[in-house]
Structure formats: C-alpha cells, structure tokens
Amino acid sequence: MNPSRRSLLALALTAVAGASQAQPATLKIIVPFPAGGVTDQAARIIGEKMGQQLGLPAIIDNRPGAGGRIGIDAVAKAPADGNTLLFTNSSYSILPVIDARLPYDITKVLAPVGISATYSLQMVTRSNLPVNSLPEFVAYAKKNPGKLSYGSAGVGSGANFAGEFFKSLTGTYLVHIPYKSTSAALNDVAGGLLDLAFDGAAKPLIDAGRVKLLATTGEKRDPRFASTPTAVEAGLKGFVQQSWAGLLAPAATPPAAMDKLSKAALAAASDPAVQKRLAELGLAAQGGTPAAMGAAIRDELVLYRGIATKAKLQFD
C-alpha cells in the first residue's frame, strides 16, 4: 500500500476510535416493567429531572419479565460508574420471598439511591355488590365464606400479598383469582365478574362509577379521594399496604458517585413541578436517603415473609 494512503487510513481509524471513545455519557434508567405503567411513568418524570441535575441526557430502558429479574440482572452487571440505575417498586422486596432460589441477596447486589415516591392502593369492589364501605364488605364476606373473590397479577404479586394480608386480618375467606395483570383484574371488577381488587390505577373506573371505592391502603388518605378513609381509619387495624418507587445502583458504585446520584434524586423529588406530575399519578413525592430506602426494603422483607408464612403461600 502507498505510504501516504497507509497514513491516511491510520488517521481515519484513529479518528473513528476517538469518536467512539468520545461518546457522551448518558444516565440510563432501567425499568423492569413494560412502558406505560405508573412506575414507568414515574421513572420518566424523575429521570428527566435527574438528567438535568447531572447534566446528562436520561434514557429509560424498559426490561420487563421474570418478575423483575431481567431488569435487576441488567443493572447488577452494568459498569458501576453511576450512569446505570434501576427504577423499581416494592416488588423488589417481594422477589426473594417468592423465589427461594434467587442467586443473589437483594440487599447486597444493588445499593439504594433513594425512594422517589410512595403510593397506596385502592380497594375496589363491583358496583352491584350490596356493600358501600369496608366494614360492610368484611361483614358480607364473613356471611358468605368462599363466595367472594379477589384478583391479582398472579401468585406472588403485590396484590396477591395485599389480598392474603387482608384475609388474615379480617378472618374472611376470599378466593384468589390470578390474572396476567392487575389491570385485567380491575376490568373484571368493573364488569361484575370479580368482587375485589387492589390496584393503584383505579381512579378512572372509580370516577366513572364502574367500581366502588371501599378504602385506600396508605398511612394517610389519598388526596385524590379525600373523603375516602384509609383501611386503618375504616377499622382494619394494621392494614397498611404502601408501596415505594425508587432508584438503586450497582453495589460497587463508588461512594462519590452514589452521593452525587442520591443528591440529584432528592433534588428531583423536591421539585414542585415534579411533585405535581407525580401527584397526578397518585404518587406522593418522597425524596429519602439511601439508608432510609435500605431500611424500608428490610422492613418489607419481614412483612412479606410474615404474610407468606401465615397464609401458607406456595410459590413454584
């Protein structure tokens, strides 16, 4: 080859390599659920603001499947450089309870960055059931053991744990009907085919009068349903099912990078515009520390293991 051509080729290859190495960093946020759900929407809201705080474009990467394992695995194996995060919810704490063969410890494989928001569930029943409050539903269920049903997104889902927790506290016997999604269960309640569902996105059906709202499951009332009591206020002592949505990073992420991420996450959750957008989804902006998130995950592990043991839940 002509020396001059060889030099030109070498320069071209060097330029290509340099351009490749100079690719700008991005903040990749992996969501272990399909696009469109409440957690996915929250990730996009928080991610957009965090990207602005960090001076990085934020990219949402949906990796649904296997109960969240696919997304968790992707983040666990990602470079621990502070540029790849997991945005998930309380299903993260349920995973080791329903899968004894999980090859990692969720309290160690990823490091908490912070809880961005919390949300409660709406307890809804079909519109033609002859009850109008949670105490009336409990009384009716006790008079009709095994004749009422509740739905969830399957055995081991958050709604399944909520249903079994409800049964254990009330001494009622409801038949569990597993669906492919909570929205499918909710639609069957609206259609009169199912008696009870626990869901965080029932507002449109409630507003349309297609389902009855009995109570919400948070520690405080949902501002969108200010006249509806929480389950505890309605007399069901101890029944709190409040989920979180938040961020975790690869466990080996350096402390300096973790500090930067947690501050950006806190700033995002503290932004009034972000809080307004989250509230429209039924989420209460939180903005907690990594330590607080770690404690919440450990507390949930104890709660869900206790529910599974008491209800004698079996997981394949």
Q: How many CB atoms lie within 10 A of CB 261?
A: 25
CB 80 within 8 A of CB 249: yes
**Which pLDDT band holds residue 59 (cuts at 50, 70, 90)?**
very high
**Would you give the DSSP letter of residue 133?**
S
pLDDT score of 133: 97
In the predicted structure, residue 2 carries a pLDDT above the cut 90: no
Backbone angles phi, psi at 221, to 5 degrees: -65, 145
What rounded mean pLDDT belongs to the chain? 91
Class of domain 25-118+243-311: alpha beta
What is the average per-residue pLDDT within 69-80? Answer: 96
Domain 122-225 maps to which CATH number in 3.40.50.150, 3.40.50.2000, 3.40.190.10, 3.30.70.150?
3.40.190.10
In the predicted structure, residue 27 carries a pLDDT above the cut 60: yes
Beta-strand relationship, 148-152 and 174-178: parallel
What is the average per-residue pLDDT within 56-75? Answer: 94
What is the average per-residue pLDDT within 104-113? Answer: 94
Write out pLDDT tens, residues 280-301: 988 999 988 999 999 999 999 9
What stretches of 166-210 adopt beta strand conformation (E)? 174-178, 196-199
What is the average per-residue pLDDT within 302-309? Answer: 93
Contacts of 91 (CB under 8 A, 6+ apart): 67, 68, 157, 158
Beta-strand relationship, 110-120 and 284-285: antiparallel
7 or 249: which carries more pLDDT confidence? 249
Residue extents of the structural domains in the chain: 25-118+243-311, 122-225
Rounded to an integer, what is the distance from CA 176 to the centroid of its chain?
22
The vertex-247 CA angle with 315 and 119, nearest 5°, equals: 70
Q: Give the C-alpha distances (Å, rounded to integers) separating 51 from 37, 57, 58, 249, 268.
A: 21, 5, 5, 15, 9
Write out pLDDT tens, residues 222-264: 999 999 999 999 999 999 998 999 999 999 999 999 999 999 9
pLDDT score of 22: 47
**Continuous segment of H or E residues that includes residue 107:** helix 106-109
What is the average per-residue pLDDT within 263-271? Answer: 97
Contacts of 15 (CB under 8 A, 6+ apart): none
Write out pLDDT tens, residues 199-212: 988 999 999 999 99
Please report the DSSP string for 29-53 in residue order: EEESS-TTSHHHHHHHHHHHHHHHH
**Per-residue burial over 41-60, b = 16 or more CB atoms within 10 Å of its CB, e = otherwise:** bbbbbbbbbbbebbebebeb
For the entire predicted model, the pTM comes to 0.84
25-118+243-311 and 122-225 in the same fold:
yes
pLDDT score of 4: 53
Rounded to an integer, what is the distance from CA 195 to the centroid of its chain?
24
